Chains A and B, each alone.
Chain A
Amino acid sequence: MSCEKFTENMSAYLDGLLSGKELSEFQEHLSVCNRCSQEAEELQSMFSWLKQAGDVAPPKELRKSVLAELKKEQSSKGRRYLPGFSQAVAAAAVLIMLVVGNLSLLPPAPLSDTVPMRATYQEESGAETPPADAIIYTQEAPDNVQFSEKSELNSAAGSEPFPRRLALNLILIPLFLFFSLRVIQKRKEAG
């Protein structure tokens, strides 16, 4: 009879995992095979030797040092990278671009346009002291020319920067909404 099969099952036998036919076969083999029964005895003796190993207690500072390390991580990483922090920065940047872009592209924005505007103001309100540059301008340009020029400038301000403003808003507003939604989403995810 070969011992190999029984050697393979030795651990299962010692741990009480064999039952029925397997168990009775194993017990029968042990009663006839010196080698295997000695092996089983030696293993039992080894188990009791292993049981003499004392209980080990974790050092008192184990949890403390883990918590200290985690606290460090949370304060360095956690606070700088709040959930949705980068998205919030992006949303704020887009908002600034929106405001600045719209202000700089407002219809009366171009400098040349302000001069005739002031000139008309001076004409209408009469004797008030006008700005120096306005005087120079009105002196140089006759009224009709000034008027046509003004309307031309106005139309230029209306037709050219306006599609630019439109394009700017069309791009930046959805972008702003996108980032804002991502911030809300991230905050929700973080609970």
Chain B
Amino acid sequence: METDEKILISLCKRGDLSAYDKLMQRYEKKVYALCFRMAGNPDDAADLAQEAFLKAFRALPSFNGQAQFSTWLYRIVTNTCLDEQRKQARRPQLFSLDKPLNTEDGHLALTLPAEAPDPLATALSHETEAEIKALLSILPAAQRLVLVLRDMEGYSYEEIARILNLNSGTVKSRLNRARARLRDLYLKKEELFPPTVHLKGKEGRGRS
């Protein structure tokens, strides 16, 4: 596995795109998931993931194998996400893509179709998904990143420290702050998302 990856990397350094395809295949799920949690919507997530993979390929010649490739790649991904957040903060926002939009036909949440085939489970998970996204988007980007890495993507403190180039004490305190902040929001989510506002909109509310 390790040597296999080394071979792929050295092929990529020479510009072999089919080797890069294989390398991306290994990491695209994790890379995309991280981008999705940071961006909050599939379109921006796809853009971020693409941007990160392009940057990684261009920067590969400078990858010397001292760090693990995955750590090196995730650092590029997190930097790409944080850069985008900074750019968006500077741009005047007309409406947030992170939050569900109210339209005449009901509530429009920007979510991916879930893989679950059960429509009720799908609707429920959509709703939770939308809430998670909305609350996460309130956190400052640096806090959100640490929380997403730990509590949603399951990286260890050491891995997060290496990816973000922080010491583990900073990771611990930042995670602690992020969790406390999200907990406050989570406890207030009934206020933020009144249960009457349902994904199915007018019809669903009328019958029940």
Q: List 17 A-B contacts (CB under 8 A).
A: A7-B180, A8-B176, A17-B157, A39-B183, A42-B186, A55-B33, A56-B42, A58-B31, A62-B28, A63-B25, A63-B28, A66-B24, A66-B54, A66-B57, A70-B57, A71-B17, A78-B15
From B112, B182, B186, contact of A56 by CB (8 A): B112
Q: Are B172's CB and A54's CB within 8 A?
A: no
Shortest A190–chain B CB gap in Å is: 8
B-contacting residues of A (Cβ < 8 Å)? Answer: 7-8, 10-12, 15, 17, 39, 42-43, 45-47, 49-50, 52-59, 62-63, 65-67, 69-71, 74, 78, 190-191
A-contacting residues of B (Cβ < 8 Å)? Answer: 13-15, 17, 20-21, 24-25, 28-29, 31-33, 36-37, 42, 45-46, 49-50, 53-54, 57, 112, 114-116, 125, 128-129, 132, 150-152, 157, 172-173, 175-176, 179-180, 182-183, 186-187
Q: Are A47's CB and B17's CB within 8 A?
A: no
Q: Which residues of B contact A46 (CB under 8 A)?
A: 179, 182-183, 186
Q: How far is the CA of A57 from the CA of B30 in the complex (A)?
A: 9
Q: How far is the CA of A53 from the CA of B134 in the complex (A)?
A: 12
B interface secondary structure, majority: helix
Q: Which residues of A contact B183 (CB under 8 A)?
A: 39, 42-43, 46
From A12, A58, A71, contact of B28 by CB (8 A): A58
Q: Are A65's CB and B50's CB within 8 A?
A: yes
Q: Are B33's CB and A56's CB within 8 A?
A: yes
**A17-B157, A66-B53 known; A58+B32 contact, CB < 8 A:** yes
Shortest A137–chain B CB gap in Å is: 66
Q: Are A62's CB and B50's CB within 8 A?
A: yes
Q: How far is the CA of A8 from the CA of B176 in the complex (A)?
A: 7
Q: Closest chain A residue to B185 by CB distance? A: A46
Q: Which residues of B contact A10 (CB under 8 A)?
A: 176, 179-180
Given contact pairs A12-B172, A52-B125, A71-B17, a sample of 9 additional A-B residue pairs in the complex whose CB atoms are under 8 Å apart: A49-B128, A49-B186, A50-B152, A52-B128, A55-B115, A56-B36, A57-B29, A58-B49, A70-B17
Q: Which residues of A contact B13 (CB under 8 A)?
A: 191
Q: Which residues of B contact A55 (CB under 8 A)?
A: 33, 115
Q: Are A11's CB and B50's CB within 8 A?
A: no
Q: Are B179's CB and A69's CB within 8 A?
A: no
